[in-house]
Amino acid sequence: MNERQSMGPIAVANPHYKLPMARSIEIANLLTPAEVSRPVIARLHDRVGVEQRNCAILEADGSIPLYGIKPPGEPSEPRVPGTAERMRAYDRHARELAITAARDAIAVSGIDPASLTHLVTASCTGFSAPGVDLAIIGALDLPLGIRRTHLGFMGCHAAVNALAVAASHAAAHPDHRVLVVCVEVSSIHFHDDARLDRLISNTLFADGAAATVVTNEPGGIELATTASTLIPDTADVMGWEIGDHGFEMTLGAEVPAAIGAAIPSWVDSVLARQGLTCADIGGWAIHPGGPKVLDVVVECLNLPQGADQSSRSILRNHGNMSSATLLHIIRCLQVENVPRPWVGLAFGPGLAGELLLLT
C-alpha cells in the first residue's frame, strides 16, 4: 500500500454568471448605507485585486432578487434580507455547486462512485440539515452507508482541514476512498454596514466549489503533511458571526502584519521536518485573503517573483471563495504542470494558519 495518501485531479464548479467590477460598484452604491462615501466604495473595489467575481445569486439579466436589485437601467428597490432568507438561498446554490464539483471530481478520478467509503464536506457560509452532504449522495447515487464528516464554519483554511480528515480516513484502511467537497456562497452575506472591514468584504468574497478524491493508491499527488498554527493574541482580529441579517465579518487591519510576523519560523520548521526549505518548493498556493496578505506572505518567506501568480489570478478572475479558493489555486498548479513539491497556505479566524505539503 502507498505509505502516503494521494489526491486525484481537482474539479471546480463556478456559478453561471460573474459580477464584473463595474456592476459590483453599481450594486454596492445601491446597497451601502448613505453615510458611506461613494468614491470610497470605488476605491475599495480598485484595491482588492478582484476584476470579476463568481456570483451564484446573480441572474442572467444582471438582477439580484435577494437584495431587490433590478437589471441594469431599471429602478431597484434595495432590501436587507434576514438570515433565514439568506440560508434558503445558500441551500439552493450550495447544493447545485457541490453536486457539480463532486460529480466532475469522481469522473476525472476514474473510480467507481460505488467504491467511495467516506465523504468530507466543508463550508462556512451557510447551514442546513440535511445539508450538501446528503444532497451529493442522493444526486450522485453514492452508497447509503458512506461515512460523512462535515467541517462547518472554519473559514478560508477549511480545505486543508478537510484534506487532513480525508487522509486520516484513507489511512485507516487500504480500500478507503474519500470524496472531499468544499462549497461556499459568500454573496448571500452582503453587509448593510458602514464599517470599513465589512465594506471590504462586500468587494472581495465570492461563490464556488471544488472537489477531489483522496485514496491510498499511488500515482496521484501525495498529501505529504498538513500543519496548523495559532497566532497568539489575535483572536479578535478576524471573526465570522451569525447575525440577524446574515453572517457578520470582522477583518482587522493588523491581519497582514500578524501573519507576516508569525509564519516564517512556522513554515520553515514544518518544511524542515520533511527535509525541505522554501527554496525547494516548486509551486505555492497562497489563499488570497486580499492583496496585502499575498504581499506579506511573499515578502516574509522571501519567495521568488511570480510565486503568487496563481493565487492572484484566481483572486482577480473569481474572487475570494473562502474554503473553495485554495483548491482552485492548486488546480491551477495541476493544469500548468508546475513541478512539485507544492505548499498550500491559508488563514482564518483565530488567527489560525493551515499548511498543506503536496509531493
Does any domain span residue 320?
yes
The model's confidence at residue 251, banded by pLDDT at 50, 70 and 90, is confident
Residue appearing with cell numbers 438582477: 63
What pLDDT, on a 0 to 100 scale, did the predictor assign at position 252? 87
Does any domain span residue 112?
no
The model's confidence at residue 116, banded by pLDDT at 50, 70 and 90, is very high
What pLDDT, on a 0 to 100 scale, did the predictor assign at position 2? 55
The mean pLDDT of the chain is 96
Whether the Cβ atoms of residue 323 and residue 124 lie closer than 8 Å to each other:
yes
Does any domain span residue 235?
yes
Does any domain span residue 94?
no
The burial of 217, by beta-carbon neighbours within 10 Å (0-12 exposed, 13-18 middle, 19 or more buried), is given as middle
Closest CA to 266 of 216, 315, 303, 229: 229
Closest CA to 166 of 121, 199, 103, 108: 121
Per-residue pLDDT of 174-231, as tens digits, reads 999 999 999 999 999 999 999 999 999 999 999 999 999 999 999 899 999 999 999 9
Does any domain span residue 257?
yes
Does any domain span residue 304?
yes
Please give the Cα distance from 294 to 315 (Å, whole number).
10
As a whole number, mean pLDDT of residues 255-273 equals 95
Cis peptide before 218 (omega within 30 of 0): no
Retrieve residue 43's grid coordinates: 476605491
**Model pTM?**
0.96
Does any domain span residue 169?
no
Per cent of the chain over pLDDT 70 is 99
User: Is pLDDT at 113 greater than 60 in this prediction?
Assistant: yes
What pLDDT, on a 0 to 100 scale, did the predictor assign at position 1? 42
Please give the Cα distance from 135 to 133 (Å, whole number).
5
Identify the CATH number of the domain in which residue 284 sits.
3.40.47.10
Whether the Cβ atoms of residue 249 and residue 359 lie closer than 8 Å to each other:
no
Per cent of the chain over pLDDT 90 is 95
Number of compact structural domains in the chain: 1
Does any domain span residue 354?
yes
What pLDDT, on a 0 to 100 scale, did the predictor assign at position 102? 98
Buried b (16+ CB within 10 A) or exposed e, 25-61: bbbbeebbeeebeeeebbebbeebbbbbbbbbbbeee
What pLDDT, on a 0 to 100 scale, did the predictor assign at position 3? 72
Residue span of the structural domain in which 352 resides: 221-358
